[in-house]
């Protein structure tokens, strides 16, 4: 398990799937804001890649996020679009509604940075998020990500086009927190 100050990132377990399905993916508004495509229901037992991990897929590393204090499942985190030639990847996360607003997002981003830069040897991490997602913007910027641009009206969300913000962090600009994260 990779550890931050408040959270751990671990492998997805079978018993995580019903919680993630109910708390994250069955929420139409949240899913519409988090996914690049339209919301659609996921059937119980589905092998949907957002839930079930394909250990052979090298360009996408999904984690379950747990509280360090007690091990309660609080969300998902992903390093995706991993490009080993250019040594870059994208990061994303989704917290259960009851876990939002507690500083977990900032810690998840920090642990994903450790994983990307230290464990995987990447040089650049990138985040794309909706321009009104203040929590993600704050979590990214607290970890040193820099706003690199705005993709105007690039996301169709619940009947309207929204802007997306593109943020990047280079390994030489990264300032890891104290202590080991693994």
Distance CA 131, CA 110 (A): 21
Tell me, what's the pLDDT at 64?
96
Band (pLDDT 50/70/90 cuts) for residue 55 is confident
Residue 178 has pLDDT above 70, yes or no: no
User: pTM for the complete prediction?
Assistant: 0.90
- By DSSP bridging, strand 124-130 and strand 88-95 are parallel
Residue 48 has pLDDT above 90, yes or no: no
Tell me, what's the pLDDT at 40?
79
Distance CA 69, CA 113 (A): 21
Tell me, what's the pLDDT at 179?
57
Angle between helices 104-114 and 134-142 (to 10 degrees): 50
Band (pLDDT 50/70/90 cuts) for residue 4 is very high
Task: Calculate what percentage of the chain has a pLDDT beyond 70.
Answer: 96
CB-based contacts of 41: which residues, under 8 Å, 6+ apart?
26
Average pLDDT over the chain reads: 91
DSSP state letters, 112-169? HHHIIIIIS--SEEEEEEETT-HHHHHHHHHTT-EEEEEEEEEEEETTEEEEEEEEEE
Residue owning tokens 């751990």: 8
Tell me, what's the pLDDT at 62?
94
Distance CA 7, CA 122 (A): 22
Mean pLDDT (whole number) for 149-169: 96
């Amino acid at each position: 398990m990779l550890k931050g100050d408040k959270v751990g990132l671990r492998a997805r377990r079978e018993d995580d799937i019903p919680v993630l399905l109910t708390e994250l993916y069955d929420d139409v508004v949240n899913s519409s804001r988090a996914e690049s495509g339209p919301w659609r229901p996921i059937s119980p037992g589905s092998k949907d890649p957002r839930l079930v991990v394909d250990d052979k897929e090298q360009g996408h590393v999904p984690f379950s996020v747990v509280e360090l204090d007690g091990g309660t499942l609080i969300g998902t985190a992903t390093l995706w679009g991993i490009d080993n030639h250019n040594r870059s990847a994208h990061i994303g996360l989704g917290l259960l509604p009851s876990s939002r607003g507690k500083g977990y997002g900032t810690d998840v981003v920090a642990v994903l940075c450790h994983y990307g830069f230290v464990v995987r040897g990447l040089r650049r991490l990138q985040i794309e998020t909706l321009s009104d997602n203040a929590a993600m913007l704050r979590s990214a910027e607290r970890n040193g990500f820099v706003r690199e641009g705005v993709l105007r009206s690039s996301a169709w969300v619940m009947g309207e086009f929204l802007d997306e913000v593109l943020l990047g962090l280079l390994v030489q600009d990264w300032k890891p927190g104290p202590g080991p994260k693994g």
